[in-house]
C-alpha cells in the first residue's frame, strides 16, 4: 500500500473515480474517522472525504479530554455517563501514549454547584457506572487535604474537594491516528475533497460528486451507502437535493471557547473542574509550559466556517479564573492563544445550551442517506459501532455482503503499540537517553512521545540523517518530513494546528520557526516565491487571530 501522503493524491483520486465502495463517509472529524476504522476493520470497502483538513472542525476544538461527563449526572443521563465513562479506559488502552491518565480535582465551595454530599454520591455513582478500578476511584478530601493538593484554591470559600480520574488527549491527533489505522486496513481517506452533490439510481443515493480543492478536479464516487458525518455541517449536507425536508429534528449549535495561558500565570498542579458564578463549571488543565481553560457554551447562529473567539468570551474565562483563584490576577494580555469550536447538538425546545443532551442520533433519509449527529469525542467508537451495525445489515440484506462484528475495542491505533502506560513511560526514558546528549530535556521528549508514540522511531531515524547544528530546528524539520510523508499534510496550517498543536501550546517559539517551516514546505512542494509569501502571511494571520480578540 502507498504511504498516507498527499504525494499520492492522484492515485487516491483515480481509485475513488474507478471503484465502487460499500461505504462512502462524508466528514473527516472524529465521528467519520471512527466509522471508517470500524467499517474497514470488518472487511468493508470504505472511502472517506473531508472538505478541509482532517479534524479541522469540532474535532480539533474540544477541551481535549477523554472524560466521562460527570456533569450529565445532574441531568440524570446515566446511560451517557455509563457509556462514555467505560469508553475512557478502552480508548486509553488503544493509544496509551495519546490518551493519558489525568487526575481531576473538583473543589467544593460555599454555595457552589456541587455540595459535599452530592459530590461524594455523584463521584461514587460515576465510579460504578464507568467501572473505575483501584487507585483511580474517587477520594473525598477535606479543606486541608484539598489545599495541599492545590494551594492556589481560595481558602475562604473552599470546603473540600473530590479527587477522581480522567484522561487527557490531543483531539486532532486522536482523529488522525484513527484515520491512519483505517487507511492501513484498506480505507481510502482523502482530505481537501469537497462534496458538491449526490448521484442517484432509482431515487436512491448511489454515490457522490466531489471536487479536489487542491487541483480543482471534479469526479464521481460510486458507493452502495453514503454516511453524513459532518457534525455542525450535517444540515447543509441534508439540504442538498432537499433531503432536509424529511429531517424531523434540527441541530442546535453552541460555541465553546478555550484560552491558553503561560503555566507560571496559572500554575495549577493538576487539572481542576471548578465553579463559575453563573452556575456553569469549566476546566483548567496544565499542558507543558501552559495551562488551558474552558469552555464557554453559547448559542451560535453565524458562519460555520468563521467561528471566532470574541473578547466577551475571553473575558468570561478570565473572570472565572480570577474568581476561583484569589491570588491570581489575570487580564486579556496574559492570554497566549485561544480557539473556538462548535458543538452539533440536537435541539430541545426550552432548554439552555448546557442542558442539551450530548447523545448521538442516527437519521435515515428517504433517498438512502444515513446521517449521524450529536455525540461526544469520548464516545466516538460506540457511535461508529452503532452506525456500522446498521449499514452492515443493509449491505447483507440488499447486496449479500457479509461482515464481522466490530473489532475496534482491541485494535491498537497507529503509534499506540504499548501494553500499558507504564510502557509509555519506559519508552519515553529510552528516547530521552538517546537524545539528551543533543540537549533535549525530558519535557521535550514527553511532548514528542505523547504526540507520536512509537512513530518517534521513524522520526528519529530521519532526524539522524540531517546536517543541522541546532537540535531543535533539526527535530522540527524531521517532524515536518514525517507529517508530509506519513500524515497527508498539505500546508503549514495543517502542521502547526492539527499535527502538532504548536499554534496553541508552543506559540512563543512558533513565531521564531516560521521561516524554517516555510522553507521546508517549499522544499517538498516546490513553491514559487509568491506562494512562499502567501503561506508566510497565512501563518502570521493564524497567530494574530488566535492571540487577538474583537
Give the bridge partners for 79, in sequence order: none
d(C-alpha 251, C-alpha 304), whole Å: 13
Using alpha carbons, select from 370, 343, 341 the residue that is nearest to residue 359.
343
Under the banding of pLDDT at 50, 70 and 90, the label for residue 173 is: very high
Cell numbers placing 72: 450529565
- The residue-averaged pLDDT of 316-341 equals 95
- The Cα–Cα gap between 369 and 364 comes to 6
186 Cβ neighbours under 8 A, 6+ residues apart: 1, 40, 45, 46
Specify whether the CB–CB gap between 489 and 495 falls below 8 A: yes
Q: Is the pLDDT of residue 81 over 80?
A: no
**DSSP state, residue 496:** I
Lowest mean pLDDT among 154-158, 307-311, 542-546: 154-158
Report, in angstroms and rounded to the nearest whole number, the Rg of the chain calculated over CA atoms.
23
- pLDDT number for residue 77: 67
Whether pLDDT at 244 is above 80: no
Whether the model clears a pTM of 0.85, i.e. scores above it, the answer is yes
Choose among 59, 122, 132, 34: nearest CA to 89. Answer: 132
What the chain holds in terms of domains, given with CATH numbers, is 6-58+172-250+357-410 (3.50.50.60), 98-168+251-353 (3.30.9.10), 421-547 (1.10.8.870)
Q: Is the pLDDT of residue 121 over 70?
A: yes
Closest alpha carbon to 23 in 411, 369, 268? 369
Alpha helices (runs of H) in 300-399, residue ranges in sequence order? 311-324, 380-399
Is 175 strand, coil or helix? helix
The answer to whether 218 touches 494, Cβ cutoff 8 Å, is no
**Most confidently predicted of 105-114, 338-347, 375-384, 489-498:** 489-498
Number of neighbours of residue 325 by Cβ within 10 angstroms: 21
Q: Is 46 exposed, middle or buried (0-12, 13-18, 19+ CB in 10 A)?
A: buried
Closest CA to 184 of 512, 550, 486, 536: 486
Q: 113 or 35, which is more confident? A: 35
Q: Which three cell numbers stand for residue 519?
A: 522553507
pLDDT bucket at 252, cuts 50 / 70 / 90: confident
- Is residue 261 a contact partner of residue 290, using CB atoms and an 8 Å limit? yes
pLDDT band at 361 (very low <50, low <70, confident <90, very high): confident
Going by C-alpha positions, the residue among 275, 4, 27 that lies closest to residue 153 is: 275
Mean pLDDT of 454-471: 95
| Mean pLDDT, residues 29-52 taken together | 98
Contacts of residue 216, Cβ cutoff 8 Å, sequence gap at least 6: none
Cβ(103)–Cβ(269) under 8 Å? no
| CB atoms near residue 111 (< 10 Å) | 8
Task: Name every residue whose Cβ is closer than 8 Å to that of residue 210 and which is 6 or more positions away in sequence.
Answer: 16, 49, 193, 194, 195, 196, 218, 219, 220, 221
- Please give the share of the chain, as a percent, with pLDDT higher than 90: 76
Q: Are 31 and 380 in contact (CB under 8 A)?
A: yes
Confidence of residue 74 (pLDDT cuts 50, 70, 90): low
Q: Which of 174, 2, 167, 17 is nearest to 88 (CA)?
A: 167
Instruction: Tell how far CA 327 is from the center of its chain.
Output: 32
pLDDT of residue 95: 97
Q: Average model confidence (pLDDT) for the chain?
A: 91
Q: Is 313 helix (H, G, I), strand (E, B) or coil?
A: helix
Which of 14-18, 125-129, 420-424, 431-435 shows the lowest per-residue confidence on average (mean pLDDT)? 125-129
Strand 158-168 and strand 20-26: the pairing is unpaired
137 band by pLDDT with thresholds 50, 70 and 90? confident
Query: What is the three-state SS of 202-251?
Result: CCEEEEEEEEECCCCCEEEEEEEEEEECCHHHHHHHHHHHHHHHHCCCCE
CA 545 centroid distance within chain: 20
> What pLDDT does 477 receive?
98
Phi, psi of 67 (to 5 degrees): -130, 165
Can you tell me the distance from the alpha carbon of 380 to that of 406, in angstroms, rounded to the nearest whole number? 13
* CA 418 to centroid of chain Cα atoms: 21
Residue 383, pLDDT score: 94
Span 189-209, pLDDT tens digits: 999 999 999 999 999 999 999
pLDDT one-digit tens code per residue, 473-511: 999 999 999 999 999 999 999 999 999 999 999 999 999
Query: Is residue 545 pLDDT above 60, yes or no?
Result: yes
Cα separation, 216 vs 213, in Å, equals 5
CA 361-174-213 angle, to 5 degrees, is 80
Say if residue 262's pLDDT is above 90: yes
Average pLDDT, integer, range 161-175? 94
Amino acid at each position: 500500500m502507498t504511504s498516507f501522503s498527499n504525494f499520492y493524491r492522484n492515485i487516491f483520486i483515480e481509485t475513488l473515480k474507478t471503484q465502487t465502495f460499500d461505504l462512502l463517509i462524508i466528514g473527516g472529524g472524529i465521528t467519520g474517522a471512527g466509522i471508517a476504522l470500524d467499517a474497514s476493520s470488518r472487511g468493508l470497502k470504505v472511502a472517506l472525504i473531508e472538505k478541509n483538513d482532517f479534524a479541522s472542525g469540532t474535532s480539533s476544538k474540544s477541551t481535549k479530554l477523554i472524560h466521562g461527563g460527570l456533569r450529565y449526572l445532574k441531568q440524570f443521563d446515566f446511560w451517557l455517563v455509563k457509556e462514555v465513562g467505560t469508553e475512557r479506559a478502552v480508548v486509553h488502552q488503544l493509544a496509551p501514549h495519546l490518551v493519558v491518565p489525568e487526575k481531576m480535582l473538583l473543589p467544593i465551595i460555599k454555595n457552589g454547584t456541587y455540595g459535599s454530599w452530592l459530590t461524594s454520591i455523584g463521584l461514587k455513582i460515576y465510579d460504578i457506572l464507568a467501572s473505575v478500578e483501584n487507585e483511580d476511584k474517587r477520594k473525598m478530601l477535606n479543606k486541608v487535604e484539598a489545599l495541599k493538593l492545590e494551594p492556589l484554591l481560595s481558602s475562604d470559600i473552599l470546603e473540600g474537594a473530590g479527587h477522581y480520574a480522567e484522561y487527557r488527549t490531543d483531539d486532532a491527533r486522536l482523529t488522525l491516528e484513527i484515520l491512519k489505522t483505517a487507511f492501513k486496513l484498506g480505507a481510502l481517506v482523502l482530505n481537501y475533497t469537497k462534496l458538491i452533490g449526490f448521484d442517484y439510481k432509482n431515487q436512491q443515493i448511489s454515490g457522490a460528486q466531489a471536487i479536489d480543492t487542491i487541483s480543482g478536479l471534479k469526479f464521481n464516487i460510486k458507493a452502495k451507502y453514503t454516511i453524513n458525518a459532518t457534525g455542525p455541517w450535517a444540515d447543509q449536507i441534508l439540504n442538498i437535493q432537499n433531503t432536509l425536508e424529511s429531517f424531523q429534528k434540527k441541530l442546535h449549535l453552541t460555541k465553546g471557547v478555550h484560552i491558553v495561558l503561560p503555566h507560571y500565570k496559572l500554575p495549577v498542579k493538576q487539572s481542576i473542574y471548578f465553579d463559575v458564578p453563573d452556575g456553569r463549571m469549566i476546566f483548567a488543565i496544565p499542558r507543558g509550559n501552559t495551562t488551558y481553560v474552558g469552555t464557554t457554551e453559547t448559542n451560535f447562529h453565524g458562519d460555520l466556517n468563521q467561528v471566532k473567539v470574541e473578547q466577551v468570551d475571553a473575558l468570561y474565562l478570565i473572570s472565572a479564573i480570577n474568581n476561583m483563584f484569589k491570588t491570581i490576577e489575570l487580564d486579556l494580555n496574559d492570554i497566549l492563544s485561544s480557539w473556538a469550536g462548535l458543538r452539533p447538538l440536537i435541539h430541545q425546545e426550552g432548554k439552555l445550551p448546557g442542558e442539551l443532551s450530548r447523545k448521538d442520533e442516527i437519521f435515515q433519509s428517504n433517498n438512502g442517506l444515513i446521517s449521524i449527529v450529536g455525540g461526544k469525542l469520548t464516545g466516538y467508537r460506540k457511535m461508529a459501532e452503532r452506525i456500522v451495525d446498521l449499514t452492515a445489515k443493509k449491505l447483507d440484506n440488499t447486496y449479500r455482503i457479509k461482515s464481522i462484528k466490530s473489532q475496534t475495542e482491541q485494535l491498537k491505533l497507529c503509534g499506540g503499540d504499548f501494553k500499558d502506560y507504564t510502557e509509555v513511560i519506559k519508552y519515553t526514558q529510552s528516547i530521552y537517553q538517546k537524545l539528551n546528549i543533543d540537549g533535549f530535556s525530558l519535557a521535550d521528549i514527553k511532548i514528542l512521545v505523547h504526540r507520536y508514540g512509537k512513530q518517534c522511531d521513524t522520526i528519529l531515524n530521519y532526524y539522524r540523517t540531517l546536517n543541522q547544528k541546532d537540535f531543535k530546528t533539526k527535530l522540527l524539520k524531521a517532524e515536518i518530513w514525517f507529517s508530509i510523508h506519513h500524515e497527508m499534510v498539505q500546508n503549514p496550517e495543517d502542521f502547526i494546528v492539527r499535527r502538532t498543536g504548536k499554534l496553541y501550546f508552543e506559540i512563543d517559539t512558533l513565531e521564531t520557526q516560521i521561516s524554517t517551516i516555510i522553507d521546508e514546505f517549499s522544499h517538498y512542494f516546490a513553491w514559487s516565491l509568491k506562494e512562499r509569501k502567501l503561506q508566510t502571511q497565512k501563518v502570521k494571520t493564524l497567530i494574530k487571530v488566535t492571540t487577538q480578540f474583537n
